[in-house]
Amino acid sequence: MAEEMTKAKLIDLAQVERERFMELIQPLSQEQMLQPGVQGVWSVKDIAAHLIAWEERMALWLDQAARGETPAPFDLSTIDQMNEQTYQERKDWPLAKVMADLQRVSVRSAECIRAVSDEDLLTPKRLAWLGQEPLWWLVAANTFWHYPSHARAVRTWLAEASPDPLEYYAYPGPMTNPRRFGHLFDRLPAGVDKLVPVVQGLLVHIYWAERYGLQVPDERKQEVQLRSVVAKRARIRELDGRPLAEPRPLERRLVNNCRDFTVLLCAMLRHQGVPARARCGFGAYFMPEHYEDHWVCEYWRSDEGRWVLVDAQLDELQHDVLRIPFDPLDVPRDQFIVAGQAWQMCRTGQADPDHFGIFDMHGLWFVRGNLIRDMLALNKVEILPWDGDFGFLTESAPPDHELMDRLAAWTTAGNEAFAQMRALYAQDQRLHVPVEWYNT
């Protein structure tokens, strides 16, 4: 890639991404700029100060390189501490100063890039302190690779308040946000048909493992307790550090279940800007005359103007064993029953509640639990299938059939009831899960 890069291109790429970031944040009010919680505890102002700090470090390193000096050793393991130090030092800086510095640093960066020789800037292995990489990678990492990752965080935060369901579902929630692993999602192929095999190459279903000839050790069965995509990605990397698009051998796949196939696919689609959401409900294709507890992904197919159900769990083996008569990339609505529809079927006498569940657990109470889980998933909070002991899912919670009827109507209404569903979630604390779940 070194021969394809030039100083002019470096400066231009950095300026383009910086300007895009500025265009994103300039329309925001002062209140929005200072509101914490956009990315961790950071506000938009804090994010801008963070970006400036890293460009300033980069400029210092370029200055040293231009003078033939070797910068002080840099330990990648200290990045989190460095970021925290920057936050503490600059969190009380006036907004006007941060915005002015964002303009100033662009001029400084361009000057420092021009001051370095082409050989030092563009040639791999040229500078011993950079190892195998050319110096321009350091520029990229602190400018046009850095700005987009934080712009995505700002857009994700803004999408949370969007009245448009397609915009809302095109960005991750707390469970599906890849955070520090986002750059790894950048390298994935685009499209549902390409992403489903990627997911299948990373995960193995705990209840199907033996069908593949895999005996899951007891200690690895705990992997199904991982809720967030960040926690899953960290464990996937521990098992096999190769790029995500490379399928793992069975023994190095993450042990998971249907909810996790769904959540990982949702995270990948949202990272690509495709509206996607997890749906909790029941599959009619696992056992005759039975609706099995199950999760699938639902994404917006813009060319057809409809939500499409995708069962990312159904690989070739499962497709054959279960004799699936449909395309898993477009599951018919009578084959996967979203929880709200299942509730309505049971309440109106169209179906026997005892036909809905898993193992020895079944009945209207089970359908109600999945209705709550589906409501949460539609608010981008994808809890584990057995998560409980909060709000509506405590043992002492009243049935609230009338409220469940409303939830069933809203969660089956497509985009039309989005506003009512979001409003109820915001107002009713019984739908709010423990915040520590988002990081586990």
pLDDT above 90 as % of the chain: 81
Residue 234, pLDDT > 90, answer yes
Q: Are 277 and 263 in contact (CB under 8 A)?
A: no
The predicted-structure confidence for 152-203, as pLDDT tens digits, reads as follows 999 999 999 999 999 999 999 999 998 878 888 988 999 999 999 999 999 9
Q: Which domains does the chain have, with CATH numbers?
A: 2-159 (1.20.120.450), 179-439 (no CATH)
The predicted-structure confidence for 344-355, as pLDDT tens digits, reads as follows 999 999 999 999
State the DSSP string of 192-253. HHHHHHHHHHHEEETTTGGGGT----GGGGGGGG--SHHHHHHHHHHH--S-TTSPPPGGGS
User: Which residues touch 399 (CB under 8 Å, ≥6 apart)?
Assistant: 365, 368
Q: Are 394 and 401 in contact (CB under 8 A)?
A: no
Distance CA 110, CA 271 (A): 30
The first and second tokens of residue 376, run together, are 């949460």
Q: Are 65 and 118 in contact (CB under 8 A)?
A: no
Q: If we measure between CA atoms, which residue out of 296, 272, 292 comes closest to residue 283?
A: 292
Q: Whole-model pTM?
A: 0.88
CA 242 from chain center: how many Å? 19
Angle between helices 7-25 and 95-115 (to 10 degrees): 170
What pLDDT score does 395 carry?
Answer: 83
What pLDDT score does 394 carry?
Answer: 87
What pLDDT score does 9 carry?
Answer: 93
Residue 2, pLDDT > 60, answer no
Region 237-247: mean pLDDT is 95
The predicted-structure confidence for 70-111, as pLDDT tens digits, reads as follows 888 777 788 889 999 999 999 999 999 999 999 999 899 999
Q: Are 22 and 28 in contact (CB under 8 A)?
A: no
**What letter does residue 315 receive in the DSSP assignment?**
-
Per DSSP, the three-state class of 357 is: strand
User: Which residues touch 400 (CB under 8 Å, ≥6 apart)?
Assistant: 392
What pLDDT score does 353 carry?
Answer: 97
The predicted-structure confidence for 29-67, as pLDDT tens digits, reads as follows 999 999 999 998 999 999 999 999 999 999 999 998 889
Cα-based distances in Å from 221 to 66, 206, 209, 218:
54, 7, 11, 5
Q: What angle do CA 44, 48, 54 make, to 5 degrees?
A: 145
Q: How confident is the model at residue 295 (pLDDT cuts 50, 70, 90)?
A: very high
For residue 337, what are the β-bridge partners?
A: 282
Cα-based distances in Å from 179 to 39, 56, 175, 227, 292:
9, 23, 10, 14, 33
What pLDDT score does 70 carry?
Answer: 86
What pLDDT score does 21 carry?
Answer: 95
What pLDDT score does 336 carry?
Answer: 98
Region 231-258: mean pLDDT is 96
- Higher pLDDT: 396 or 63? It is 63
Angle between helices 339-347 and 401-411 (to 10 degrees): 130
Q: If we measure between CA atoms, which residue out of 25, 46, 55, 22 comes closest to residue 143?
A: 55
The first and second tokens of residue 200, run together, are 């299948």
